[in-house]
Amino acid sequence: MELDHFLRDPQSRRRFFRMTGVSAAGASAVLLGACGDDTKNPVQLGPDESDQADVEILNGLLDLELMAIAAYKAGAPKLGGERLGIVKVFLEQEQAHADGLSGSIEDLDGKPNRAKSDYDFPVLRTDADVLRFALDLENTAIAAYIDALPKFSEKKLRSTAASIITNEAEHASVLLHALGREPVPAALVTGRAA
């Protein structure tokens, strides 16, 4: 699929995230399914159920991180110079997020999801395409994490998720700058729902 079509068509984006196992992306279907759709009236869960709900949320977010890692690895060969350096840093930091999420899932006696063997990424023809697709992934991740925040039973997971959101927002800012756009476009960073 061509990147421009992917970015402009919400249905294509939803289909992509669903097919790559990331149904939590933006719309947060996995997150909602894990612990209820209504954040104003959260369902009261017992300790084991709470842990299981947290595991499901964490695995939805892990799916996103694993996909981002694959995307950066796929896009890196198209980049050079400063832009390649940027993506290498992003790759390291997304891996750190994935490792942290996996560790937390295991601590809750859950099993971390694995990366897919293949992701059907849109066609990335230029270095600008790589950056634009990366920006879309970062914004989707921000939206998914923000959606997840109130659903965590464990408060420390909220703080840690917020620290990841902030790092993803920093990535978005660096990408916007590299694309010649305003690096801090809004006072409230919300990402974008798929």
Partner 1 sequence: MAFVAITDGAASTAEVAAFERDRRELLRHGFGFGGTALMASSIPLLWSVRSAFAEAGGDGDAPVLAKAINLERVTVVAYDSLIAGELLSPSVRGVLRRFRAHEQQHAETLTTSLTSLGGTPPAPPAGPADVDRVVEGLRDVRSQSDVLSFLIELETAAVAAYFDAQAKLSEPKLLQTSASIMANEGQHLVVLRRRAGRDPLPNAFETGEQ
The residue (of 13 and 151) whose beta carbon lies closer to partner 1 is: 151
DSSP string, 131-194: HHHHHHHHHHHHHHHHHHGGG-SSHHHHHHHHHHHHHHHHHHHHHHHHTTS-SS--SS------
Q: What is the dihedral of CA 176, 178, 181, 185, to 10 degrees?
A: 30
- Told to check if 46 binds partner 1 by CB under 8 A, we report no
Q: What would the two tokens of residue 17 be?
A: 């995230």
- Interacting residue with partner 1 among 81, 82, 156, 180 (CB under 8 A): 156
- For the bound state, the minimum distance from the C-beta of residue 39 to partner 1, rounded and expressed in Å, comes to 4
Q: Does 96 bind partner 1 (CB under 8 A)?
A: yes
CB of 93 to partner 1, least distance (A): 4
Q: Which residues here bind partner 1, judged by CB under 8 A?
A: 39-40, 42, 89-90, 92-93, 96-97, 99-100, 102-104, 106-108, 142, 145-147, 149-150, 154-174, 177, 183-184, 186-190
